[in-house]
Amino acid sequence: MSQELWNEVDRYICDRLLGEDPALEAALAASDAAGLPPIAVTANQGKLMQMLARLRGAGRILEIGTLGGYSTIWLARGLEPGGRLVTLEVNPRFAAVAAENIDRAGLGDVVEMRVGPALETLPALVDEGAVFDLIFIDADKANYPGYFEHSLELSRPGTVIIADNVVRDGAILQSGGGNGPDAENIRGVQRLYELLAAEPRVSTEVTAIQTVGSKGHDGFAVALVT
């Protein structure tokens, strides 16, 4: 209904505050040309996450759901000097596109991609004793509860956990996720809210914000691990 207006306002914001960025624009163009779905974060969302990384002083970032590496590039640019980002992607074709995009952005040595189902690659990170300062959850929504539980194991006090797509056009209001094709995903997000509210390490330091913009009506949750 207001989508055209939201698009124009996002354009207004980005034109004034973000400026040209050849590497990010090339990442989107290459993702599009390779047929990846156009579901990356928007530029102004990416910038916000980069700023959250800077505010946190993040030296280690974990991303769950790489797609073409667009949000990866934003986040990796927010790392402290010498920092590292690990990103998890199940689709080898997407991962190959992302690797090229990340290399083109000059971040090939900073970003490590692990290809496989995140519910398999996350326990490996836990076994390695990995700890992250910022974790961005953005893969399949049905598995958000599992991603959050693993993220807690990969956190320390002060870790910021961000989850994308926690509003989905208001679909979260549908009891039990509704009966539509997206029900499993909606239930995953609803369960994430329950876990965020119940987990003593985040329950006092968590919120979610609904957003409108060129990606429609959606939102993100932000939690600080205490």
Q: Residue 148: which of ligand SAH, ligand DHB, Mg ion, none does it interact with, CB under 5 to 8 A by kind? A: none
- With CB under 6 A as the contact rule, which of the stretches 1-9, 88-96, 174-182, 210-218 interacts with ligand SAH? 88-96
Cα–Cα distance for residue pair 98/94, rounded to 1 Å:
6
């997206």: which residue's tokens?
182
Of positions 30, 50, 60, 70, contacts ligand SAH by CB under 6 A: 70
Which residue in the shown chain puts its C-beta closest to ligand DHB? 39
152 is written with which tokens?
A: 């807690």
Q: Residue 28: which of ligand DHB, Mg ion, ligand SAH, none does it interact with, CB under 5 to 8 A by kind? A: none
Q: How far apart are the first and last CA of the chain?
A: 40
Q: Residue 90: which of ligand DHB, Mg ion, ligand SAH, none does it interact with, CB under 5 to 8 A by kind? A: ligand SAH
140 touches ligand SAH by CB under 6 A: yes
Cα–Cα distance for residue pair 216/81, rounded to 1 Å:
34
Of positions 164, 172, 213, 225, contacts ligand DHB by CB under 6 A: 164
Query: E strands within the chain?
Result: 60-64, 84-89, 111-115, 134-137, 160-164, 206-213, 216-224
Give the dihedral sign, CA 172/165/190/67: positive
Binding residues for Mg ion, rule: CB under 5 A, are 138, 164-165
Binding residues for ligand SAH, rule: CB under 6 A, are 39-41, 65-67, 70-71, 88-91, 94, 117-118, 138-140, 143
